[in-house]
Structure 1
Amino acid sequence: MLIKLLQDQFITQLTPIYDEVEAQQLFLFCLAELEGKTRIDLVMQPELTTTQPKEWTLVLEALSNQKPIQHIFNRAYFYGYTFQVNEHTLIPRPETEELVEWIIASVPQDIPVRILDIGTGSGCIGLTLAKELPQSQVTLLDISAEALAMAKENAIALGVDVAFVQQDILTATELMETYDVIVSNPPYIRQLEKIEIKKNVMDYEPHTALFVEDSDPLIFYRKIAQLAYVNLAPQGQLFYEINQYLGKEMVELLTSIGFSQTVLRQDLLQNDRMTKSSI
């Protein structure tokens, strides 16, 4: 079967669900995963055929049911690295790459840095920092044993040596040691915002990693900041990915806990998305 015909089928069937650009991206993702080919290959060889039309059909059916393509192939790409993901871990987002880039630009490159990634999930933040800052000592913390198991597999695949801790951060009374960097992308979507969440997220990603109660949407940020205030080294920094609607509240919270400097930064879509704080 001509792959060009499959491309037309993808665009036709998926465009009512996604916009045409997204549908095209999903096709190209499948082209790479199933055939090991790129868009340029298809342009240069328009008569390319597939020997696995059944696999293409199954993938298209799953995408039509809005299953995330990263879950179909059990991997996602983040900051140039490949991460295994499953139903126990969030799919890494581009805005989180911006947070990682900010951290890398904010820490010394030539001395060991102690980093704690709280709520690590697949490990995309902490493991990327371990790769990009090879002198760093990274610890990944999560409440979920299943998420940590996936993070461990990703650490092995990436060839980095990091520490793992299973803990409910909300019940923690102290952190294990002192850190130069503490980073977290905790649950921050309020229940009232569920109407904005797409089916591919709502039905397939872990709700415990996504949602908080409307009555206390900053519960994780407050607890982590209180612990960080005690456990950050001199000149240490606390980084967060945040709810875009609660930027002002985040700055007020961090100031009330005692952080003297907090920078609120927008992502590429001009949403309030991340903070950096120091004592």
Structure 2
Amino acid sequence: MTNSKELFSEVVNRINLPEDKAEIESIAYLLLDKKWNLTRTHILTQKQVTVNQTEVDAYINRINTHEPIQYILGETDFFGRSFRVTPDVLIPRPETELLVHEIIRHTKSINQPAILDVGTGSGCIAISLALEIPSVVHAIDVSLNALKIAQENATRLNATVTFNLQDILKEPITQKFDLIVSNPPYISQQEKQNMKPNVLNYEPHTALFAPGENALLFYKVIAQRAHQALNPGGSLWFEINEHYAKEICEIMKANGFEAVITLKDWNGKERVVWGRII
């Protein structure tokens, strides 16, 4: 038996990732919380805990290979809920919560909006919207394995979402919707060399990289398809790479969207673009 503060210190001291102290401590806090139910209060009060040292060693070894802590734990928190994640799906980012929050605000005055999430991955956007808004939510993805994780998350969280296998680059949207949302792949192949190993070596490349050299391909195709699939007054919402905000706004305007707006996240980076079909 050891006390939780000593365990926390051991984990922090043995993690040798090229990250700052705050990031390493956040990984350690997550590990202790999810694996041994030890909160920060428990650590501060040095609560006694019994752990298997071999298990501790195994977790630390995996962390030191740059495997994301979310994949090691098999879950991550998003919009106040726990979502199962595997290497088949992109890890939901806190920044994406801004997208969900703004859509919730926008749809308050819309009765039972029909919503489509393009490239749903873990289902975090679609499921959060289905649980927060009285709505009819559909979600599509090109990956069958991702859809299995998304359906599992929806079932566990009691969310009603219709999931379908679809390649948005090859197939049109055949139903009508009031709102379409997407956090598509937007990293170019040239940017690979600047990416951290925990992302590049573990997260699904189909969810990270646009095919070829055109980082904006998905935005162009989704904007074209959304224009045909949205009801009058409907809106299209994108999460974006802040470096492409201007270009994505132009893509939306060129495809008939008006009153196109860019929203910044809490780090001051342009993170969301949305517009409406008039």
Secondary structure of 2:184 counterpart: coil
Partner of 1:50: 50
**Paired residue type of 2:38:** K
Change (3 A) 1:56 1:70: same
Note the alpha carbon deviations across 1:33-75, whole angstroms, 9 max, x for none: 121120111212x152323222221111111111111111111
Question: Which stretches in structure 1 are left out of the alignment for 5+ residues?
Answer: none
Aligned partners of 1:254 and 1:277 also within 8 Å: yes
- SS of aligned partner of 1:217: coil
Amino acid at match of 2:24: A
Instruction: Tell me the alpha carbon deviations over residues 202-242 of structure 1, each in whole angstroms, 9 at most, x when there is no partner.
Output: 11100011012563221111111111111111221100011
Partner SS for 1:251: helix
1:180 equivalent in structure 2? 178
Q: 1:220 to 1:161 in 2, by over 3 A?
A: same
Unaligned stretches of 5+ residues in structure 2: none
Cα displacement string for residues 62-101 of structure 1 (whole angstroms, at most 9, x for unaligned residues)? 1111111111111111000111111110000011011111
**8 Å Cα contact 2:4/2:38 also seen in 1:** no
Aligned partner of 1:5 in structure 2 is 6
Equivalent residue letter for 1:107: T
More moved, 97-106 vs 206-215? 206-215
Identical counterparts, % of pairs: 38
Deviations 1:126-152 (A, max 9, x none): 00000111x200001001000001101
Say whether 1:225 aligns with 2:226: no
Does residue 242 in structure 1 map to residue 228 in structure 2? Answer: no
Secondary structure (helix, strand or coil) at the match of 1:106 reads helix
Moved over 4 A (4+): none
- Alignment of 1:266 onto 2:264: yes
Match of 2:254 in 1: 256
Work out whether 1:115 is the aligned partner of 2:115.
yes
Q: CA deviation at 1:110?
A: 6.4
- Report the secondary structure of 1:269's partner residue: coil
Greater Cα shift, 237-246 or 49-58: 49-58
Where 1:239 maps in the other structure, the secondary structure is strand
